[in-house]
Structure 1
């Protein structure tokens, strides 16, 4: 009830200021139904397929004036049927999605602070993870410089996290008070992103430092730095990524890399993209160094297959991956059918329990996604994926490769603008 009251007061305040600023209120309802039968990992004969619907519901409130902009959005994430039809209390799944303000010192330089999405380029290193219903957000401060004349952008961001296990301000001055124990998050985070648009191309540079709290109260720092870019040459679009990781994870040194290259040709019938991406893995378990690259804050669902066998959560662990892929799209029934084919190899040498070196080929994945724009701006997705696994995949991940491993899903997105001033 309090949330609704606060939301109503905010709406009244925004509308009351509509004369001197741009106010936009929009909403989103996005249910997605999934049939999982070998999604993310190989199934066994004892496994049963699962069918469920997960829904994301959001409301966005955007206020923009000459001097600053503010965004507040709330979201509710739930599985259909997990709450009783009649209830007074339930597990809290309604929370703030974004809440940030951006102050413009001048048309080129601004400061953005608060809970926000941090997403760049192809989201390989930093992404909003919007495929996941909950998304990913950072509590951070950003310094933003963007100059249209020179077509350059520079964003510098930082964050320092603290939990509230004892809700008393003086506790933060006590011994050990700065220990951070929120799972899956960082203690401290700094990054810089530079982008330069060029004739028929673009180049981005990223440098990122992440501090993770160790169990012994120390903080280990891992650095990720590299480049992403593309260039159109003679009608062919060439793209590439190169990133390297250094620093420490716990007491172990990190030396890992990601490198990818692709080319897109537009034919009379359809675009064709051919590419390969190599992500290093740990070669020798006795080596004190970590050589497995980890795209910690990227939108990993967008890469290496939609069935999320790699780098989504703990999947694939330290094996790494070499991904040869073909991507294309075709007009169909008033929409677009996207086709992706991946051939996955390990990103490092792997051995079975007897110490015999495994064949590098892990499997082939085929992804089909049909997208259609319906009336009123409503979007419909329909997807099907299948994994054809090898003995190597079974040795590394368990399961039974002789079974069918597939995933089907459908999603409809309603995202109307409810109110907007001129």
Structure 2
């Protein structure tokens, strides 16, 4: 009896091993890593440095481990990352110090149709799949949707995307829904954004803990700009990460006609409505208030963004390329204001092999401070990668906010790449201007010219898996930049400098 059972077990084990070997033969498994330490010297990165402040120097690091499994009917990927500053933790820590380990990606792409794969008995479409889970959402040049990979933490979405390719057309339909808790006694679907500062200043300037369930106003003191609070003039956009969306839906399509690619986007994102509230700070003798928004109101503010991008390529070796796009934004912004905004982008590129030249212009509409319109004309570039477009010092549409008057940015870039592709260097120049009028604190218009930025970036490939990058940026700013960055006039250095040195190490541990 036992001999028969043993023989059956051997047969089952043999069949299982054979099936696993056959499956592995048709599948591909890759495991890759990333170690990206970056040292920075900041003397005005992201915003002007006020007089009397000292330069900052630090080293940040991203560590990632990515597993990708590809089979004819399934793609599965998970990416675990750790982001921290050197010295952020003591050399010996306890469990009370918490963990900065996070799940950057965890998604699966279920392939339902693929005419190029003979393992499918029937394939009504050239390609059709459902991608679900935590994922990066990236399209075109990343103006509006991108991973913002310059940030060590990057950006990802918890979403589901239907992906269709048919007769040369690409059509993606995606959606996401965010919530704070799944507690049984939690009522309603109110969503409070999670990116809230731990501490905030009250109306007397005291540093206090942020009240629970509240998004504090910047500086808390004086909601009116007349009291010296310029934050009301220049609120951050969605790239500032101060408010995540409650829900998001989008339709993306693209088609290539010979050497010209045309793509379109229609996206809606909804934000929880909120009401102004205050909390009294009773700590100490100097009593103040913390002002902010409570996200406990019914319904949502819906914003929609739509537009087209055209990218023709010319020449026998594709030396010439043009890019032109227009996007319109309507509905209501995250704070409930009616929207009527637009963005225009244009660039022309020539690549001779070792030298590449790019000239371009981005225009993002803003609010005219002398207009009586109650509609906002301030375009918000959604969830893109601002570091790529509006200067490497990240003064605009990044975490440090952007001017209420919008932005007009003509730019020029020149890049050299060695014949062996191991060395490259690029010099970029940005000329920053307000798109519309902005007032100073006395009610007069400021000059539209904000400043000029120069970015020098040099990269060298040390080996197959290691890239070293050195960057140096300098800006010549005007007093108008102080207003654009919420700084009282005459209190900041107008010649900021920023430098960094980065290693990007990306080994492949397994690729079979």
- Determine if the TM-score, normalized by the shorter chain, exceeds 0.5: yes
Is 1:247 the counterpart of 2:331? The answer is yes
Q: CA deviation at 1:95?
A: 1.1
1:261 paired to 2:342: no
Equivalent residue for 2:100?
93
Conservation of the 8 A alpha-carbon contact between 1:25 and 1:59:
yes
TM-score by length of structure 2 reads 0.75
* Whole-Å separation in 1 of the counterparts to 2:350 and 2:71: 43
CA contact (8 A) 2:48 2:493 kept: no
Which residue does the alignment assign to 2:497?
406
C-alpha separation in 1, matches of 2:164 and 2:321 = 28
Shift of 1:354: 2.6
Question: 2 CA distance for matches of 1:207 and 1:130?
Answer: 23
5+ residue gaps in structure 2?
A: 1-19, 115-126, 195-242, 275-296
Alignment partner, residue 3 of structure 1: none
**Most deviating of 315-324 and 111-120:** 315-324
Residue 20 to residue 267, structure 1, CA distance change in 2 (3 Å): closer
Distance 2:79 2:352 in 1: 42
Distance in 2, matches of 1:368 and 1:207, equals 35
Q: Which range moved further: 115-124 or 80-89?
A: 80-89
1:130 and 2:113 equivalent? no
2:57 to 40, 51, 65: 51
Q: Distance in 2 between matches of 1:238 and 1:356?
A: 39
Q: Is the 8 A contact 1:196 1:203 kept in 2?
A: yes
Matched, 1:202 2:252: no
Q: Which stretch shows the higher mean deviation, 285-294 or 32-41?
A: 285-294
Map of 1:9-408 to 2, 5 A cutoff? 18-89=24-95, 90-107=97-114, 108-147=127-166, 150-164=167-181, 167-168=182-183, 170-172=184-186, 174=187, 177-183=188-194, 184-215=243-274, 216-233=297-314, 236-249=320-333, 250-267=335-352, 270-284=355-369, 286-331=372-417, 334-397=422-485, 398=487, 400=491, 403-408=494-499
Alpha-carbon displacement from aligned partner over 1:137-173 (angstroms, at most 9, x marks no partner): 11110000124xx332111101111111xx53x335x
Counterpart CA distance in 2 for 1:355 and 1:178 is 41
SS of 1:105's partner is strand
8 Å CA contact retained: 1:42, 1:400: no
Q: Deviations over 1:362-402 (max 9, x none)?
A: 00000011011111321111100011001221343336565
Check whether the contact 1:389–1:401 (CA below 8 A) recurs between aligned residues. Answer: no
Which deviates more from structure 2 when the two are superposed, residues 213-222 or residues 73-82? 213-222
* Partner SS, residue 178 of structure 1: coil
Report if the CA contact (8 A) 1:37-1:50 is conserved: yes
Contact 1:222 1:248 in 2 (8 A): yes
* 8 Å CA contact 2:479, 2:494 repeated in 1: no
Question: What is the TM-score with the length of structure 1 in the denominator?
Answer: 0.90
Which range moved further: 349-358 or 303-312? Answer: 349-358
* 1:392 alignment partner, SS class: helix
User: Kindly tell me: are residues 411 and 346 of structure 1, through their superposed partners in 2, closer, same or farther at Cα, counting changes over 3 Å?
Assistant: same
Task: State the alpha-carbon separation in 2 of the partners of residues 16 and 374 from structure 1.
Answer: 38
Q: Whole-Å Cα distance in 1 between the matches of residues 328 and 247 of structure 2?
A: 20
Equivalent residues, number: 400
Runs (4+) of structure 1 moved beyond 6 Å? Answer: 14-17
Please report how far the alpha carbon of residue 73 of structure 1 lies from its aligned counterpart in structure 2 after TM superposition: 1.1
How far apart are 1:267 and its partner, in Å? Answer: 4.8
* Contact 2:270–2:302 (CA under 8 A) maintained in structure 1: yes
1:280–1:291 Cα contact (<8 Å) kept: yes
**Contact 2:470/2:501 (8 A) holds in 1:** yes
Q: Which runs of 5+ in 1 are unaligned?
A: 1-13
State the alpha-carbon separation in 1 of the partners of residues 426 and 348 from structure 2: 17
Is residue 420 from structure 1 mapped to residue 511 from structure 2 by the alignment? Answer: yes
Instruction: Report deviation, 1:334.
Output: 4.9
The 1-side partners of 2:152 and 2:357 are apart by 30
The offset of 1:15, in angstroms, is: 10
* CA distance in 2 between partners of 1:53 and 1:17 (Å): 44
What is the rounded CA distance, in whole Å, between the counterparts of 2:21 and 2:268 in structure 1?
Answer: 41
Measure how far apart 1:44 and its partner are. Answer: 2.1
Secondary structure of 2:442's match?
coil
